[in-house]
Every structure is written in C-alpha cells, then in structure tokens.
Chain A
Amino acid sequence: DTQMTQSPSSLSASVGHRVTITCHASQDITHYLNWYQQKPGRAPKLLIYDASNLQTGVPSRFRGSGSGTDFTFTITNLQPEDVASYFCQQYAIVPLTFGGGTKVEI
C-alpha cells in the first residue's frame, strides 16, 4: 500500500496566521493527491484536488502544491471556521489511502 505520512498531527495558530501541513507519499503518486476538511460529526469535504486545484466554492485562502512524493497544504489568513481536521488522500495506486490527519485549532 502507498503510505501517506501527514504532519504535524495537530497544530494551534492564531486567527489571520498562515498554517502549513505536509503530506509525504511512500512512492511517486505524481499529482494524484487530494485534500479534505472534516469538522466534528461531519463528513469530509473536498478542498483541493489533483494537488493544487481549488474545488468550486472553496475559499482561495486554501492552497495546495507539490508533486511526486511531497505535498503541501496551506491555509493563509486562518479563520475561526477553519478549525477542523485535514486529510490528504492519494488515488494514484489502489488501495486508495489517506494520511492520518492534522487537527487545526485556534
């Protein structure tokens, strides 16, 4: 299986600050990488697809970059409503796998 190593597992930042999460794949997944946001008791929500494409309706403060094995997810100008867990997910190779998640707090 393709292991997705996400870090950090949790972080705390101030409103208006920049947050960065990394995701490392155990093998080359080119650009087949997505990012999701999950709030407590809710289903995950797609934010970024194919490493760097913003899903329709998602605020532009969410950004993704990277290719191959190393990817970065950034929230610029952190807002109170961004408190959630964030997961990366690869779909290059079956089985599809997720990172362990990053819990973001204010």
Chain B
Amino acid sequence: QLQLQESGSALVKPSQTLSLTCVVSRGSMNNGGFSWNWIRQPPGEGLEWIGYILYDVTTSYNPSLKGRVTMSVDRSGTQFSLNLRSVTSADTAVYYCARGRWASQRSGAFDLWGQGKMVTVSS
C-alpha cells in the first residue's frame, strides 16, 4: 500500500519560505490516474486546499494564496514538494500531502493522506 510522509522545517520565520516535501513510499507517483495535493489545517480550524501537481508537472493552486505557492515533482516519482513564500503567522498550520483520484479532468477524492506536519511561523 502506497504511503505518504511529509518532511521539512517545523519552524519558519515570518517573511521566509516554508518548504515541505512529501515522500512517496511502497509505490510510485508514475501513474496518470492521480493528482498530488497539499492541504493545510490551522490549529482548531477547518481544511484548506493549497493546490495539486500532476506527474506531467501540470499544477493548480488556490488563488487565496496570492501567487505565493510553487509545487514541484521529483522525476524519480518518489516525492513532490511545496514552497510557500512570504509566510506570516496566518500560515501556521498542519500541512498534509494527499493523493487525489484524477477523474473527469478533475482532482477528485483524497484517498490517501500523509500523517501531517505541524509548521509554526514565528520569529
């Protein structure tokens, strides 16, 4: 069974860049049937979709993040990454990577999730 695991810095200073990687194990991303997503959840709050990347490097981002997001994929098919620039305290959250089913030209149900990585933005 494919597994996802987030890694990266747990503490980021304001105005700097948050960088996270999602390592894909027991399988590969080399399958056109899925999207690879980042989703976050501020403490005690709901879920916010950040964006997805496909294996062909096509991306879609949430406009609410105002162009601060970049996602990339490792061509080995074993990891994908998130960069979020110019962070503020509002970006403090648990960040999840998740696999989405690709159906009807859409990123569908998130059927596999990483355990989540808590990232705090603070000086």
A residues bordering B, Cβ < 8 Å?
A: 1, 32, 34, 36, 42-46, 49-50, 55, 87, 89, 91-92, 94-101
Contact = CB atoms under 8 A, between A and B. Distances in A.
A98 B109 contact: no
Contacts, number: 59
Given A43-B116, A91-B106, A92-B106, A98 B111 contact: no
**DSSP majority for the B interface?**
strand
Contacts of B110: 34, 36, 44, 46, 89
A87 B106 contact: no
Interface string B53-92: 0000000101110000000000000000000000000000
Contacts of A101: 46-47
Given A95-B64, A97-B49, A98-B48, A43 B108 contact: no
Q: How large is the interface on B (under 10, 10 to 19, 20 to 34, 35 or more residues)?
A: 20 to 34
Contacts of A1: 64
